[in-house]
Chains A and B, each alone.
Chain A
Amino acid sequence: MGDLTATPKSCLMNRMRLSVETTIESDAIAVERTLAGDRDAFRILVERHSRNVYRLAYRMTGNQQDAEEVVQEAFLRAYQKLSQFASRANFGTWVYRIAANYAIDRMRKRKSEDSNRALPARETEDGAEMDLMSMVPDGAPSPERLAQSGQLAVQMRRALRELTPAERTAFVMRHWGGSGIEEIADALDSSASAAKNTVFRSVQKLRKALEPFVEQRGQARAMGTEL
């Protein structure tokens, strides 16, 4: 080891600049240290990625309490499976996928429990799951009223709830998480072509349910009558 105090300051600063880690590299160090038995290092990963995972979980589950449970479970699972994590991969993406997997399991389980308690499960013509929420009488205000009162968000949440868990997961990962088809296929435990189909089906359903409202809002905006 050389005499570092004698090293010119500019040289040290250059070394500092060179040695500044990117977030991914810093994650890799934290993963390595966690695997070596230092649980404090895992804390860094949790603190760094929780909010991002929360956003995914909230969009998938549609409520805060479930989203928080998904986040906790995702990090617990990540900790348990950390030895399976390839150090060159991105920890953020990895834990995101674990959260998506857990959220989808949870939604399916809940749906199954609900259907056991209430009505028998139904399937659509192509064999896809059908959310029981879609069978509940709508009772929604008219499109005009919705558009004019600016409650499009309520209608959008409703439309998202009406997607099957797989469709919701695919949609959230693709359009909000920026995930690739392979990643979605992995989360859904399906082939890439099936995942692609699920993404398409989700957008198609959302279009059917929401386009009238979106267009009305567009027209109201154009006329300057949106409230």
Chain B
Amino acid sequence: MKHPKEEELIAYHDGDAAGREMIATHVRDCPECQVELARIDALLAALNTIPVPEPGEDYGQRVWQQIAPRLPEKRAHWWDFLFSEPKTVPWFAPRRGVAAGAIAALVLAAFIAGRLSKPNGPDAPIAVDTSKVRERILVMAVGEHLGRSEMVLVELANSGPQIPGQKQVNISGEQRRAEDLLEENRLYRQTALEQGDSALAGVLDELERVLLDVAHSPQQVTPVQLEGIRQRIEARGILFKVRVVGKELQERGESGRTPTQPSSSAKNERNKV
């Protein structure tokens, strides 16, 4: 076989040349091509040494802060105003402030009350429609909250040293999101408790302890500390519970069930969680 062309040798070096076996056989027996291949390898190895300035551990957060105000809304529903911060507040701040949370809690109260009431009298159809709307809003709000919580827990379950032997793991992103979620979680839990939905309150209570644990951890943790956090999450089985309840709320949100329909037994089911 005659010497492979330069482009064939480069492609061979990159691992994608056609006729690899033939080239490999040739190179094995051809000192000239071995030198050529070694040169290509040395050049690419040298280019790998060009340093890239390290943007910093918090680079992702900085990118987010810069682009967040420029992101267009994906959807705009009439109830969105209940759950979003005023435009003057940077939206990367805790998404649901106290005022929005209080309104959400009031709506939750109305929702739970609506679920417990039975329609009677001539106004009944209107009452049912109202509770249906309330239910959908609340189901979406709590479902979203559980979905975001789930993501934080999944992130923690997957995080770890990026390089073998790394002594510190940065969990500042998860920690900050846990802080954001805590306030919202408290409002939902208290309202659920006041309204007697003990199962939902129970799951939210357990979630709150885990979020608290994460929020109070240092930004940089050792792999051993991280493992400790993971084990506490695992011991509570909270991720699984959050998923089950979140999924149920999501299904109900999508099907738009009303309290008067048979599926309202879901609350009793959840009480077993």
On chain B, the residues within 8 Å of A199 by CB distance are: 10, 14
Determine how close the nearest CB of chain B comes to the CB of A130; give it in whole angstroms: 21
By the criterion CB–CB under 8 Å, are B151 and A4 in contact?
Answer: no
- With A13-B234, A21-B154, A218-B42: A175-B47 Cβ-Cβ less than 8 Å: yes
On chain A, the residues within 8 Å of B157 by CB distance are: 20-21
Determine how close the nearest CB of chain B comes to the CB of A22; give it in whole angstroms: 7
B20 at the interface (CB under 8 A from A): no
By the criterion CB–CB under 8 Å, are B158 and A21 in contact?
Answer: yes
Determine how close the nearest CB of chain A comes to the CB of B139; give it in whole angstroms: 13
Q: Tell which of B48, B63, B77, B91 touches A71, judged by Cβ atoms closer than 8 Å.
A: B63
For window 221-273 of B, CB contacts with A under 8 Å fall at 234-235, 237, 239-241, 243-244, 248, 266, 269-270, 272-273
By the criterion CB–CB under 8 Å, are B67 and A75 in contact?
Answer: yes
By the criterion CB–CB under 8 Å, are A200 and B11 in contact?
Answer: yes
Q: Tell which of A2, A40, A48 touches B60, judged by Cβ atoms closer than 8 Å.
A: A48
For window 128-180 of A, CB contacts with B under 8 Å fall at 152-153, 156-157, 160, 174-176, 180
By the criterion CB–CB under 8 Å, are B64 and A43 in contact?
Answer: yes
Determine how close the nearest CB of chain B comes to the CB of A24; give it in whole angstroms: 11
For window 1-47 of A, CB contacts with B under 8 Å fall at 1-5, 7, 9, 12-13, 15-16, 19-23, 26, 29-30, 33-44, 46-47
Give the docked Cα–Cα distance between A34 and B92 (Å): 15
Interface string of A194-223 (1 = CB under 8 A from B): 001101100110110011001101100000
On chain B, the residues within 8 Å of A50 by CB distance are: 55, 59-60, 63-64
On chain B, the residues within 8 Å of A19 by CB distance are: 239-240, 243
By the criterion CB–CB under 8 Å, are A20 and B154 in contact?
Answer: yes
- With A50-B59, A203-B10: A58-B273 Cβ-Cβ less than 8 Å: no
Give the docked Cα–Cα distance between A39 and B44 (Å): 41
Interface size class of chain B, counting residues whose CB lies under 8 Å from the partner chain: 35 or more
By the criterion CB–CB under 8 Å, are A39 and B71 in contact?
Answer: yes
A94 at the interface (CB under 8 A from B): no
A106 at the interface (CB under 8 A from B): no
Determine how close the nearest CB of chain A comes to the CB of B163; give it in whole angstroms: 13
A191 at the interface (CB under 8 A from B): no
Q: Tell which of A26, A34, A79 touches B155, judged by Cβ atoms closer than 8 Å.
A: A26
Given A40-B148, A40-B177, 7 new contacts (CB under 8 A): A1-B273, A9-B237, A33-B151, A38-B144, A40-B95, A153-B51, A175-B47
The 16 listed contacts between A and B (C-beta, < 8 Å) are A2-B272, A12-B237, A15-B240, A16-B237, A19-B240, A19-B243, A34-B74, A40-B148, A41-B151, A43-B64, A44-B173, A54-B52, A200-B7, A207-B40, A215-B42, A218-B42
